[in-house]
Chains A and B, each alone.
Chain A
């Protein structure tokens, strides 16, 4: 599988968002509709067309100081509007490890 960090063509299979890691500490962040970043997936701007995604990704990558490795990723939008990660990778990034930390 090609890493999403190497995305070249933009082809959406469904609702999507733009995610990255915060530069200073690496925390997972999501691009918001207010042209900022949030650590909560629920704040992510949702895009549904390639053009929207391209624009959002362009804004995100323009913020080279604040974020690193921005890419487009799928989400599931529930009937009530709640946003869920669209694949296992994003689920793990959003919810954390599927294993307990060593203690």
Chain B
């Protein structure tokens, strides 16, 4: 059952979804050969974002061919540590035409980095150093660059291996570490009084780490229908006398149907099974979800040099597994959009049915930058995150609570209010 998409209870809502496309309910091997062949054909890769010039794993400086390349802090520029030459990565928005044509999307279009993950693909990749011939192993679970231990030549995983580790694009960090530390400190300083004592004692925001987290950036073209009942107040009156005075309402009931055609541009979805689970009863992934949006329009074509010194998480969800989540968010967007069209129903609307047709969607796999500070609460085992958006600096966090302190203060305040209430009741009767 490991192929089931993650539950996203909590801020995202649970839902029933139609069967996944491609789920036929029959074994294609029992079907006649022509049909079987058709069903078993691989899905087309519509956009090829792989960088052939980087396939040998060595990212060369265009000027001196050096390989010691890293991101210039706070910019989208790459800089060669040898000759100090600087250059700009290509924006995928223009390079692959991602910003246009949402209204003409049909079917499921996947960029090459968003392809299905091959189950047998290893996370440990071995590369032959192009400079000295030594073999260097990179664990793509958490890192995308390595230095040859013999000749100090720098390697990057630039080839699009089908293990989910290499995306189509990357959005480089702009917020620097000092800034991220200051933001986390400021965030926690506003939440100290009821914070867990151990958390306060061990609080060292300097331990924040830069992480590239995997997302799918989705463009979609959809139609939604919603149906329900709406009420308009026609009369309001009171009955009874004195203390038994009651307000009554008369209302007209309407059957309300709404239809909306819309396109979305750059909707971000978590493509890591663990991060996509937003169940706030068990984890604090909603914190990382909250610091969105990112300026994904400025993402540049994948180049492992941007990840020097950063940690990264590998994508482990395929597009088909993420479609229910997309449908859920598109329906939510549609419901938000039709709200202004039912303003005349002063007593509100009860939506009873909703439907969605996704005409087309375009999926691009992307690494987005997050400064992450984490604290493991002993006892409950809850991992609390404080996250800073690596582009906008938006900060959100979960600070563990000293429960007895909070309960004691709440009881004290409650008792104080109750004593006032008792005094009023005693003196008015």
**A and B from one complex:** no
Interface residues in chain A, defined as those with a beta carbon under 8 Å from any beta carbon in chain B: none
Binding site for A on B (CB under 8 A): none
